[in-house]
């Protein structure tokens, strides 16, 4: 069957649109320093996430789920590369179709090698040869950019995990706001409180939140790079630091480092909001219209009991501190819960529900080690 020339031209126009779409996605995802990857990147992310969700339908254990999800980010990166090359392949094949004397099969057979070869001796004519050369350059540039993209991702990942690991050594895993305050005051049993180090900690995590917001919202696969330790997570770590700042301001407003704690809180919930927006998570924006927070007052008292065990300095009664703590947590709780559930991170205390339901894990304190004689 001979396809009319007009139909070939329409197919070539569609092929050109496919090539442009793939090029925009590559440039927006890898080169442009802002989240502009477009629908193609989001579609690949959704398809891979859907596949992993199906694979874990019957997996109840969190450690087994974490082991499966540890390869999710790598799968997304490979799927992105395959999707770009596949769309380039189809697009350039349709572009070549009107330029070749034979059918569409010949166009696909000619365009395929061009993605990794410079030109082809089987075609004649300047338009066809030019198209093949551009196709070859598209394939080479896409693969090269993806390879060069990996060091950027792993550099941001290493910066993130360094701070998370330092916090784990300080507060145990999984991290928890009251545990962070209690262990900082307890100072590993040294007998001298180290709460005076909290201002520096909040300054560090203010910068951490800004770094994560910039890197993870721009390079979205980073959010799915999981920590080497199965009970560790950047989301839980950031949430625990924010909770510790809110608790300190609520219970000890005179002693708390007001400015560093407030700046950390502001940077933290802006970071979570940007990442939730990049992930297309539906999080309520009208915070002033929310009735409160999901955390129960009973759990709040449990956190207070953890602090009181080491005689953390408390200036207010729980009934007086609760409304102020709610006023701080309402800014970031819903967003943090949505991200934690979407990434299926460790079910730490005060980190919201998971699907399927998981029992919350209390912090596991690191061993004390052997003190010098």
**So where are the chain's domains?**
5-148, 172-343
| 200's tokens | 């520096």
- Name the pTM for this structure: 0.88
Q: Which of helix, strand or coil describes residue 361?
A: strand
Question: Backbone phi, then psi, for 275, in 5-degree steps?
Answer: -70, -40
Q: What is the pLDDT of residue 193?
A: 83
Distance (Å, whole) CA 145 – CA 47? 23
Q: Who's near 14: CB < 8 A, 6+ residues apart? A: 94
| Mean pLDDT (10-residue bins), the chain, 373 residues | 79 93 90 75 88 88 91 94 94 89 82 70 76 88 91 94 92 92 82 87 97 92 93 96 97 94 96 92 64 90 94 94 95 95 94 87 72 58
d(CA 44, CA 75): 10
Q: pLDDT at position 325, please?
A: 96
Please say whether the dihedral angle defined by the alpha carbons of residues 80, 84, 87 and 89, taken in this order, is positive or negative. negative
338 by DSSP, 3-state: which? helix
Which residues on neighbouring strands pair with residue 361, listed in sequence order?
Answer: 348
Q: Which residues pair with 364 in a beta bridge?
A: 173
Cβ-contact 131, 139 below 8 angstroms: no
The CA-atom distances, in angstroms, between 23 and each of 79, 216, 271, 288 are 16, 22, 29, 42
Query: Is the alpha carbon torsion for 275, 276, 280, 285 positive or negative?
Result: negative
116: three-class secondary structure by DSSP: coil
- Angle of helix 126-171 versus helix 5-26 axis, rounded to 10: 30
Q: Are 84 and 9 in contact (CB under 8 A)?
A: no
Which pair of tokens denotes residue 296?
Answer: 């129960």
Provide the strand spans (E) within the chain. none
- Taking the CB of residue 5, how many other CB atoms lie within 10 A of it? 9
Q: How many CB atoms lie within 10 A of CB 63?
A: 10
Q: How many helices (H) and strands (E) does the chain have?
A: 13, 0
Residue 214 pLDDT: 93
Q: What is the dihedral of CA 270, 349, 74, 149, to 10 degrees?
A: 30
Asked whether 88 and 135 are in contact (CB, 8 A), the reply is: yes
Helices 177-186 and 126-171: angle between axes, nearest 10 degrees = 50
């Amino acid at each position: 069957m001979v396809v009319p020339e007009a139909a070939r031209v329409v197919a070539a126009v569609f092929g050109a649109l496919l090539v442009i779409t793939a090029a925009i996605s590559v440039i927006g995802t890898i080169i442009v320093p802002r989240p502009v990857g477009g629908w193609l990147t989001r579609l690949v992310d959704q398809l891979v996430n859907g596949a992993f969700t199906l694979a874990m339908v019957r997996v109840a254990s969190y450690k087994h789920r974490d082991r499966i999800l540890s390869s999710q980010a790598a799968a997304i990166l490979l799927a992105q590369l395959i999707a770009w090359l596949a769309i380039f392949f189809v697009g350039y094949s349709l572009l070549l179709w009107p330029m070749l004397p034979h059918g569409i099969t010949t166009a696909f057979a000619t365009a395929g090698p061009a993605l990794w070869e410079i030109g082809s001796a089987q075609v004649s004519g300047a338009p066809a040869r030019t198209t093949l050369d551009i196709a070859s350059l598209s394939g080479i540039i896409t693969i090269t950019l993806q390879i060069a993209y990996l060091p950027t991702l792993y550099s941001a990942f290493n910066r993130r995990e360094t701070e998370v690991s330092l916090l784990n050594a300080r507060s145990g895993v999984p991290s928890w706001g009251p545990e962070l305050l209690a262990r900082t005051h307890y100072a590993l049993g040294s007998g001298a409180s180290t709460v005076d180090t909290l201002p520096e900690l909040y300054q560090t995590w203010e910068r951490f939140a800004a770094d994560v917001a910039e890197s993870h919202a721009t390079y979205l696969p980073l959010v799915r790079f999981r920590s080497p330790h199965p009970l560790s997570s950047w989301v839980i770590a950031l949430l625990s630091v924010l909770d510790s700042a809110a608790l300190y301001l609520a219970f000890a407003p005179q002693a708390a480092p007001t400015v560093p704690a407030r700046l950390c809180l502001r940077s933290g919930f802006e970071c979570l909001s940007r990442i939730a927006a990049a992930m297309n998570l539906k999080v309520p924006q009208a915070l002033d219209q929310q009735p409160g927070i999901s955390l129960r007052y009973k759990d709040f008292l449990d956190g207070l009991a953890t602090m009181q065990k080491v005689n953390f300095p408390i200036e207010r009664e729980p009934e007086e501190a609760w409304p102020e703590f709610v006023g701080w947590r309402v800014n970031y709780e819903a967003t943090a819960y949505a991200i934690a559930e979407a990434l299926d991170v460790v079910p730490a205390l005060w980190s919201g529900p998971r699907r399927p339901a998981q029992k919350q894990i209390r912090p596991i304190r690191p061993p004390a080690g052997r003190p010098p004689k």
